[in-house]
C-alpha cells in the first residue's frame, strides 16, 4: 500500500487521535481511509443528481469567520438560497444552515467551492427533494 504524507495542524492531529480512540480504529490510517470513503460516497451522491433539487447545506466554521470568499460565494449564488439560519455552537464555532433550491449542477458548484475554503470546517449536504 502506498504511503502518503499529510500535514495537519495541532488541532486537526488532536481531533484525528480522538476520533481514532473514540471510533475504535486500529490506527490513524484506517480512520483516514474510512473518512475518505465516506467523503467519496457523499460527493458521488451529489454528482449523480441532475435537474431541479432541494437541499440543506450545513456549514461549520470558526467564530473568527469563514472568510470573505465564502460570503462572496453565497452572495453570488443568492438565486439558489431560499432560507438561511446562523447560530453558534457550544464550543464557539459558527454554524449556518442554508436551504437551497435549483439546478443540481449549480448546487454542486456551490458545495464544491465551499468545501474548497480552508476556513470552513465542514460542509454537509442533505438532499431533501429531487
Annotated domain spans of the chain: 10-43, 51-129
CA atoms in the 13 A half-sphere facing the CB of 52: 4
Summarised one tens digit per residue, pLDDT across range 59-110 is 888 776 555 555 666 777 889 999 999 898 898 888 889 999 999 999 999 9
Place of cell 467564530: 63
Q: Specify the DSSP class assigned to residue 78.
A: T
When mean pLDDT is compared across 14-23, 47-56, 61-70, 103-112, the lowest value belongs to 61-70
35: pLDDT strictly greater than 60: yes
- Would you state the pLDDT for residue 30? 92
Report the C-alpha gap between 61 and 123 in whole angstroms: 9
The CA-based angle 117-111-100, given to 5 degrees, is 130
Cβ-count burial of 56 within 10 angstroms (0-12 exposed, 13-18 middle, 19+ buried)? middle
- Would you state the pLDDT for residue 10? 92
Report the C-alpha gap between 54 and 107 in whole angstroms: 9
Cα 114–chain centre separation: 7
Q: What mean pLDDT, rounded, does the chain reach?
A: 85
Place of cell 439560519: 85
Contact 55, 22 (CB under 8 A): no
Q: How many CB atoms lie within 10 A of CB 66?
A: 21
- Would you state the pLDDT for residue 53? 92
- Would you state the pLDDT for residue 103? 94
51-129, superfamily in CATH? Answer: ACT-like. Chain A, domain 2 (3.30.70.1150)
Amino acid at each position: 500500500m502506498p504511503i502518503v504524507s499529510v500535514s495537519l495542524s495541532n488541532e486537526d492531529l488532536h481531533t484525528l487521535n480522538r476520533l481514532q480512540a473514540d471510533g475504535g480504529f486500529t490506527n490513524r490510517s484506517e480512520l483516514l481511509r474510512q473518512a475518505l470513503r465516506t467523503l467519496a460516497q457523499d460527493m458521488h451522491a451529489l454528482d449523480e443528481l441532475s435537474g431541479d433539487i432541494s437541499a440543506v447545506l450545513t456549514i461549520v466554521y470558526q467564530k473568527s469567520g469563514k472568510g470573505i470568499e465564502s460570503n462572496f460565494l453565497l452572495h453570488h449564488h443568492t438565486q439558489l438560497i431560499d432560507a438561511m439560519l446562523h447560530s453558534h455552537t457550544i464550543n464557539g464555532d459558527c454554524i449556518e444552515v442554508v436551504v437551497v433550491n435549483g439546478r443540481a449542477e449549480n448546487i454542486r458548484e456551490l458545495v464544491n467551492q465551499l468545501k474548497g475554503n480552508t476556513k470552513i470546517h465542514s460542509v454537509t449536504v442533505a438532499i431533501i427533494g429531487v
